[in-house]
Amino acid sequence: MDAYRKETDKLLYGWLWLAVFSLVFAGIFAFMVAMARTPVIEDFLPLGRDYIYVALVGHVDMAVVIWFLAFEGFLWALTSTRDLDERPFSAPLGWAALLVSFAGMFLVGFSALFGAGKGIIVNYVPLLSSTYFYAGLLLFALGITLNLINTFATLIKAKLNGKTLPAVTFGMACSGVAVAVAFVCFGLAGLRLSALAAPIWDYERFFWGGGHMLQFANTIAMAAAWIYLARLVLLREPLSAGTSKALFIVYILFVLPAPFIHFLQDINSPGYKAGFTALMQWGLGPSTAVFTLATLGVALKGGRSWKDPAFSSLMLSMLVFVLGGIIALTIRGTNTKIPAHYHCVIGAVTIAFMGLFYEMVPAFKRALWSRKMASIQPWLYTLGIVLFAAGLFIAGEHGVARKTYGAAQNLNSMGKIVGMSVMGIGGLVAIAGGMTFVLNALLTLLGRPAELEEAGELTGQVSAR
């Protein structure tokens, strides 16, 4: 293997480690949320009973923000180098991006673990009132930005060398554009809020626009992961390269106008929030629906065993995403149907990424530590997500408001009690499914390189595409 290929593989392996470490923290914080709701134990936690808000911040940021962007960081680097048989534009820049991202992730994790500040519960990126936490988020964002710069520069170099971008590479590039636009929206929102000279920032509006764009990035990356899984598992892509690229462009047509909303609407106006909501409502559905139907069609014609973790992850990811879309159609008001919807959507992204992990690690000459555990895990995690969402849906039907905890939930009817009980059971099952993945992934990454025929074969498959 060429020296540059070995160096690239080490870098890619590092991004996998970052992604798995973020899920380790996410699992710890999910456990801490449960402990913060447990009588007696809650009094011994940092900040006492208020620690539940800190743990929630840590869990959401690790499970939804950092895990997604870290795995997308792996896919950006993979699809721009290995898949194109191309050297990175700058190996030192690639390593700097990874190390800075690691530093940011650990700062965020340890700030929340030790209760360095009070929880600020806002949409998309909840916060802790801690300098260390803010520094961690900024460092992580810087690392992702450096990775995007390196990725885009590598893709430009590949195009200048006469190479055609495959559908997956093009899709991940579109995902990168969405992240870049999200960061621009964060910057513009910060400038608008600073101009108001208010004593306290409205973090809800600060993260609103960019947060919506991050959902575009995650959905685009999920669709690219579906194509990748179909290619590796079913040995064919669901759509032609040209059609897939056109669908990715449709996403981007709703992403690029986002920064202009900051100039067209006052940041405190209802139109500001409504503008970003409209972009997401109209922009995410059409392309994702086509990708879903096409991939389901290919899978059902030439499917593999449902015990295959990559195949089951592909199918379950699509089904959970569809469930989230159905729930979205029933939302009226601000009840727990809203988190039921988005937990299905983000759960679908996570399932797709986990399935792709199972299929990709042999390309780095690593055998899964437990294939049996891997075959069970997607089902376990999916069952948890579905129960969790079903419980929230039932509770929302009976009027339970979102973002309420403890006595504030006002569980004064059987429907509310049943709904929140089902949610709790689903949460425990989902945590078990997530920790099963983390354990298997850690032991796989820590294991010795596998000298297996299937590892060599898959390495060849991935490299050739």
Helical segments of 41-166, H only: 51-60, 67-80, 91-113, 131-160
**How far is residue 154's CA from residue 172's CA, in Å, rounded to a whole number?**
13
β partners of residue 335: 401
Position 398 in a domain? yes
Domain count, the chain: 1
Mean pLDDT to the nearest integer, 145-151: 98
pLDDT digits (tens, 9 = 90+) for 379-406: 999 999 999 899 888 887 876 766 655 5
Strands 127-128 and 119-120: antiparallel
pLDDT of residue 157: 95
pLDDT tier for residue 301 given thresholds of 50, 70 and 90: confident
Q: Are 204 and 123 in contact (CB under 8 A)?
A: yes
Position 34 in a domain? no
pLDDT tier for residue 460 given thresholds of 50, 70 and 90: very low
Report percent pLDDT > 70 for the chain: 88
**How far is residue 350's CA from residue 347's CA, in Å, rounded to a whole number?**
5
Nearest partner of 321 among 288, 279, 280, judged by Cα: 288
pLDDT digits (tens, 9 = 90+) for 101-118: 999 999 999 999 888 888
Position 43 in a domain? no
Position 57 in a domain? no
Position 393 in a domain? yes
Mean pLDDT to the nearest integer, 304-316: 90
**How far is residue 151's CA from residue 87's CA, in Å, rounded to a whole number?**
11
Domain housing 322: 305-465
Q: Are 133 and 112 in contact (CB under 8 A)?
A: yes
pLDDT digits (tens, 9 = 90+) for 226-247: 999 999 998 889 999 999 999 9
Q: Pick the more confident residue, 327 or 412.
A: 327
Structure tokens at 460: 């060849």
Position 379 in a domain? yes
| CATH number, domain with residue 443 | 1.20.120
pLDDT digits (tens, 9 = 90+) for 407-416: 455 565 777 7
Position 336 in a domain? yes
* Residue whose entry in the numeric block shows the structure tokens 């209802």: 270
Quick check: 152 pLDDT over 50?
yes
pLDDT tier for residue 463 given thresholds of 50, 70 and 90: very low
pLDDT digits (tens, 9 = 90+) for 441-451: 999 998 866 65
Position 385 in a domain? yes
